[in-house]
Chain A
Amino acid sequence: MSDQEARRFVIDHFWVAFAAFALACVLGVYQVLERSGIIPAIQSPAVYFASVSTHGVLMAYVLTTFFIMGFGYYVATTSLKMPIWNKPLAKTGYWIALGGTVMAAIPLLLGKASVLYTFYPPVQANVLFYLGATLLVVGSWFWAGIMLVMLHQWKVAHPGETVPLPMYANAANAILWLWTSVGVALEMLFQLLPWALGLMDTIDVGLARTLFAWTLHPIVYFWLIPAYIAFYVFVPAAAGGKLFSDELARVSFIMIMVFGLPIGFHHLYVDPEQAAGWKLAHGIGTFAVAIPTLLTGFTVIASLEVAGRKRGGHGLFGWIGALPWRNPMVLAAILSLLMLMLGGFGGMINASYAMNTMVHNTAWVPGHFHLIFAGTVITMYFAIAYYLWPKLTGKQLCSASLPTLQLWSWFIGMAILTTPWHVLGLLGQPRRISDVTYNTLLTLAWDPYELAMILGGCVLLASALLFVYILFQTQTKGAEEPDRAVAYAEPLHPVVKLPAMLNGFGLWNRVILVLMIVSFAVPIGQFFFMDSFSPSAWGY
């Protein structure tokens, strides 16, 4: 694949991701409007749940997977200075994933798959939904395989050399994803698909929930890692400084990969089909995985401080003002970190074994993940897109100020949307409801927060459309961009000698295997020995 063709391929991935994103944002605004009840004419549970199912699938699976694949191809080709290995295979993966997306979108939009993006049985969707979702995952496996082959080929051609940090992290994400997706793949292949095809009458719901929990936690790290890659390799360079520590960055990515996997039961804290001991064990692991995030926060802030001081900032906080706030990458990092701190605090509450019961499945939960996923993660996706767009399209950004306006408005919109959402959760509002009237005193207290959320949603939609407009305008009308080379940040202290375990994954795969067996063998195995009842399919 020529450079030009590879760039085109990356752009194709990004456009699928951002088209899904824009459409889903429109649905998001409809949702905040509908549930508030201020326009009785649009109240409809059937439309609402079709919409939330579509919005969730587009945001959580389509936007992320396509963005991560495109970004991964870009990082691999530029940091390893190699062409994409096996272009026909890569294209096949892309088309399978896209075909799967379309196949799942049809029943979703027709209201035939209003099972939400978690598709918990025994509520059953049209079989095309399950097939489409499976194909999306299968397509992404092509990508993951290609990333690992490229890493391997590079290492063979460069014996003893250090794998560039962005590629190391990117490969860690590919490995993480392969391990992560096994849970939901087993659920699909052995439970949901045969059941939806009519080959099986009943389904073991406890087993299905357990397998889904295997995937549900680490998948959020799959989404997050591109943001962390940008924190480590783009932000310091954009701020005019250096990466504080290359080695600690690797340690963080390894810890995310290793500890992120065996901890899914914090999603099952109040489930009856798993015993307390297993939940506690997964809960401890959940806290362990906070460590790499704490390290990342430190490194990013330290790298920014180095840059701020180099630019003439003085004093305890003076370096903050000296940062280039108008640079989209730097601004995004600051806003994203702010949301990460608040969201991380909320995450600790969710992870707390007992405190979780106060917020479980309340509006607090979507409030939390919009803050940290739609906020922290997606803000960095924006910044990556702004940085790469000129490199990919060969056109300068159509405006220097619009991207900062867009980033600020996304941040402000997110603050207006998620703050009341958290409060609603503390006031007991369930998540996933199309209507907030329960005829109790308590629920009357919800109303003002519902209105604030509408305002937040509108600001966010405007911001999302501005984002797409900037990319489109740049690609079609931008002036020639001379600089097509990507700048990955240099570490403050050059890496001289790296232990093999920080340069490869052999050891870590073995550690993961052991941890997965320890954390899941008995909890999954129990369903094969237990005299459990399996329900048949239910509509919704």
Chain B
Amino acid sequence: MHINPLERKWVYVSLGMVGLFVASIVLTAITEGVHPPSNVETVDSASLHLGDEFAEDKLGVRQQPDGSLRVTLVAARYGFYPNHIEIPADTPVTFRMASVDVLHAAHIPMTNMSTMVVPGYVSQITTTFPKPGDYPMLCNEYCGLGHDHMWSKVTVVAKEEWHGVAAAEQQGSKP
């Protein structure tokens, strides 16, 4: 088999380049725990309202016993409920979401808060928002003819101005 020397060099360059990309991904995954949302956890989507976690009065922003913040949301045609949440900047926030009907996906533009919401599964993603401001949370998986109107509001307030969960609750718990 004939391989030109220049071609051989290019093969090495290609392998090196791809090797570098793969190495940086695998390294950050292992050492920093950088993974996309992937907790394989099932839920009965038909009776969310009866369950412990996704019942209507349990939704919204909650402080966990360890001080971390958790946002519990339900995705349903055509909105994310509660449809307005307020969270502090520079604080790790864990979103847990479930769908009552079809496929949806949640994305907060300019951030890495992005997950599919698949009926039958709980989507969980933890992230930190560095920049305060008003963000839309947009549904970005086709879920029916109202898909383009499926969104809700996320207000990220500066950490110092965050008045705790109770204040956020009042605004947010009613869908």
Listed in ascending order, the chain A residues whose CB lies under 8 Å from chain B are: 45-46, 49, 114, 116, 120, 122-123, 204-206, 209, 244-245, 247-248, 268-276, 279-280, 283-284, 287-288, 290-291, 294-295, 298-299, 302, 348, 352-354, 356-358, 360-362, 427-436, 438, 440-443, 493, 497-499, 502, 526, 530-535, 538-540
Contact = CB atoms under 8 A, between A and B. Distances in A.
Interface in B1-49: 1-4, 6-7, 10-11, 14-15, 17-18, 21-22, 25-26, 28-29, 34-46
Contacts of A247: 1-3
Given A244-B7, A284-B22, A360 B140 contact: yes
Contact of A122 (B22, B113, B119): B119
B103 interface: yes
B10 A276 contact: no
B123 A272 contact: yes
Interface in B30-82: 34-46
A431 B116 contact: no
A430 B138 contact: yes
A535 B120 contact: yes
B7 A298 contact: yes
Contacts of A204: 120
Contacts of A274: 38, 40
Given A357-B114, A535-B102, A434 B107 contact: no
23 contacts: A122-B102, A122-B103, A206-B120, A248-B7, A272-B116, A272-B124, A274-B40, A276-B38, A280-B35, A294-B10, A298-B10, A348-B21, A354-B29, A354-B34, A362-B109, A428-B110, A430-B107, A430-B140, A431-B140, A440-B136, A535-B46, A535-B102, A539-B144
6 nearest CB pairs, A to B: A428-B109, A430-B140, A361-B140, A533-B120, A433-B148, A294-B14
B160 to A, nearest CB: 23
Interface in B70-124: 101-103, 105, 107-124
B131 interface: no
Contacts of A434: 147-148
A472 B151 CA distance: 47
A268 B137 CA distance: 20
Interface centre among A206, A269, A272 (most CB of B within 10 A): A272
B104 to A, nearest CB: 10
B21 to A, nearest CB: 6
Contacts of B11: 295
A302 B6 contact: yes
A538 B103 CA distance: 10
B150 to A, nearest CB: 9
Given A245-B2, A287-B22, A440-B134, A531 B42 contact: yes
B7 A302 contact: yes
Contacts of A288: 18
A322 B107 CA distance: 49
B162 interface: no
A51 to B, nearest CB: 13
B145 to A, nearest CB: 4
Given A123-B103, A245-B4, A272 B136 contact: no
B118 A205 contact: yes
Contacts of B105: 270, 360-361
B169 interface: no
A302 B114 CA distance: 42
B149 interface: yes
B13 to A, nearest CB: 8
A497 B25 CA distance: 40
B68 to A, nearest CB: 20
A538 B78 CA distance: 14
Contacts of A298: 7, 10, 14
B134 A269 contact: no
B158 interface: no
Contact of A358 (B21, B26, B114): B114
Interface string B150-166: 01000000000000000
